[in-house]
Structure 1
């Protein structure tokens, strides 16, 4: 039994991401980012795991691993052949969002990348207006009067609560 119960890798792995991005010229283009080489994928994993340890205040990081120029250019490794074209055609926040989405795809999975993509998050920036509006409760945003009456003050007076009776077993 040559294959056993395993499907061919190409049947379920994602070999690329296609991300729609509006450029500086206002035109939306779909950028296809190919799966990185095994060597670049390993470097991306190493750099991001070291960054995660630094962010979490964990063990000391071996900074000599970051001296290699390829490792310093994490976005170039993530974006591969799309890097230069994307950098020329889009602004910084969109470029960074595409690169980080791709990094999540490389280091985690498509679902994690999709969740990051949909968040519209750019590290260090406030959420966009649409996201802030969604978090605002409808009642305070509408300015309409509430039909729920406020509880009366109980200062100085107290209504006796009914006593709980013990149940007999």
Structure 2
């Protein structure tokens, strides 16, 4: 068995419908992908109260990131006079696609960019993780035997 050509296996574009037109965002270059990943990671660290990587955030501010992540779709959107909020949402969706995958980008797109709609907050993620994690048994070395029937019956009897 031989490896298939990767470009035949992957759909390397992101179709974004805006006002009746499908804009195809092409896959970014490796350099743009790596820079976008670094920017998103730095933003996440900063949002969690961590130290901000000034180099990463400074570099991103110097470049036209939206044009980079949208590729040829950016020029088409500008030529079609797409409203700024739609272009911004498309660029942020492309960033999610680059940093994660198409499924995450679709969730973000369909949420209208509302983080609360796109993903649970930290407390909800922790609660979900805690509720799905099975509790460990006792490690004290004692067994969890049930009380004898006599003691159980005594507890159930009404007091006088």
Q: Report the TM-score, using the length of structure 2 for normalisation.
A: 0.63
The structural deviation recorded for 1:119 is 1.3
The structural deviation recorded for 1:107 is 0.6
* 1:16-53 Cα shifts (integer Å, max 9, x gaps): 0111101xxxxx21101100011111111111111111
The reply on whether 1:106 has 2:118 as its aligned counterpart is no
Higher helix share: 2
- 2:69 pairs with one of 71, 78, 81: 78
The structural deviation recorded for 1:14 is 2.6
Take 1:61 and 1:70, find their aligned partners in 2: how far apart are those partners?
14
- 2:109 pairs with one of 114, 117, 120: 117
Could you tell me which residue of structure 2 aligns to residue 153 of structure 1?
none
Q: Verify the 8 A CA contact 1:66 1:72 in the aligned structure 2.
A: no
Number of residue-to-residue matches in the alignment: 120
| 4+ long deviations beyond 6 Å | none
- 1:16 pairs with one of 13, 18, 33: 13
The structural deviation recorded for 1:9 is 2.4
**Structure 1 stretches lacking a partner, 5+ long:** 23-27, 128-164
Pairwise mapping of residues 31-110 of structure 1 onto structure 2 (< 5 A)?
Answer: 31-58=23-50, 60-68=51-59, 72-88=63-79, 89-110=81-102
**Structure 2 stretches lacking a partner, 5+ long:** 118-151, 155-160
SS in 2 for 1:67: helix
Question: RMSD across aligned C-alpha pairs, in angstroms?
Answer: 2.9
Take 1:94 and 1:100, find their aligned partners in 2: how far apart are those partners?
10
Q: Verify the 8 A CA contact 2:69 2:95 in the aligned structure 1.
A: yes
